[in-house]
Amino acid sequence: MKLVNSTWLSAHLNDENLRVLDVRSDVMQYLPGHVPNAVHLSDFSLRAPKNGVPAQYLNPESLCHLFALAGVTDDHHVVVYSQGEGVIGATMIMYALNLIGHTDVSLLDGGWTAYRNTQRVSQQYPIYGAAQLTVRPEPDAMSISLEELKDQLATKRATFVDARPEGAYLGVESTWMRNGHLPGALNVDWHSLVEGANLHQLRPLEEIKALLALKGVRKDQNIVVYCGTSREASILYLILKHLLDYPRVRLYEGSWTEYSSFPELKMETGRPVPTV
């Protein structure tokens, strides 16, 4: 993951190896205006039910087919953007590209809001031919399964970081079958990683480093990030793994949607009790 700004993107729109993805969830946001040559691919397209559990990632072959339909090839540098809170949809798309082994991916810092305020926009649809895209999974595991997560909980070999807002973490919101968080999990609300005036713009990395240190998230830990459906956790995963070079970070894709559906699995509510 890399960051590019609107000026850089505008200057490189005619690069042959560039593919821009507008991943705003609603196509009705794309139609009135978008970055020139951007392909619309709703971030909602990437997931489907799995064994009854909603919002789970498609398999790598299906993801590859979907991205190829959007014109992404093995040789493309892909720039992804959305708008506002949709930044977590953009980072989820980037995570999915990494899942199939496509790592030349950048986030448009500031997203659509920053771009439209300073650059030329378009309503024209892009034109492209058939795309050749190959599944080449990352050599290091990016995700952790429920069975692996249960083992990590039992052996206490991982640091779990919940990227949801505090209310969901504490268990005071009645969204899931059971409400709370993984035993011992830390809480880094994804909103704390971005600017309040434009949620699609990351805070300076030095500020994010200070925040993580305050929360107890360190580079020497074996880190597992999660949230409600892995959408919010995707931004934390990409920041830790690719911008801050944390060596051991994985994402629990099933997240709280899956975990909370098993009544026998332990959970906690409220804030962690300080250890003496």
Please, what are the domains in the chain?
2-118 (3.40.250.10), 146-259 (3.40.250.10)
Q: Report phi then psi at 61, rounded to 5.
A: -65, -40
pLDDT digits (tens, 9 = 90+) for 73-112: 999 999 999 999 999 999 999 999 999 999 999 999 999 9
Q: Mean pLDDT for the chain?
A: 96
pLDDT at 182 over 70: yes
User: Could you confirm whether 227 is annotated as catalytic?
Assistant: yes
Q: Residue 82 carries which DSSP code? A: -
pLDDT at 275 over 70: no
CA 268 – CA 123 distance, rounded (Å): 49
pLDDT value of position 271? 87
From 20, 182, 227, 236, the catalytic residue: 227
pLDDT at 273 over 70: no
pLDDT value of position 137? 79
Q: Per mean pLDDT, which range of 110-114, 130-134, 265-269 is the poorest? A: 130-134
pLDDT at 200 over 90: yes
Q: Residue 276: pLDDT band by 50, 70, 90 thresholds?
A: very low
The predicted model gives 214-240 an average pLDDT of 98
pLDDT digits (tens, 9 = 90+) for 1-21: 899 999 999 999 999 999 999
CA 89 – CA 46 distance, rounded (Å): 10
Q: From the CB of residue 261, how many other CB atoms can be counted at a distance below 10 Å?
A: 15
pLDDT value of position 138? 73
pLDDT value of position 133? 96
DSSP string, 137-198: --SS--B--HHHHHHHHHHT--EEEE-S-HHHHHT-S--SSS-SB-TT-EE--GGGGB-SS-
Three-state DSSP class for residue 39: strand
pLDDT digits (tens, 9 = 90+) for 133-178: 999 977 678 999 999 999 999 999 999 999 999 999 999 999 999 9
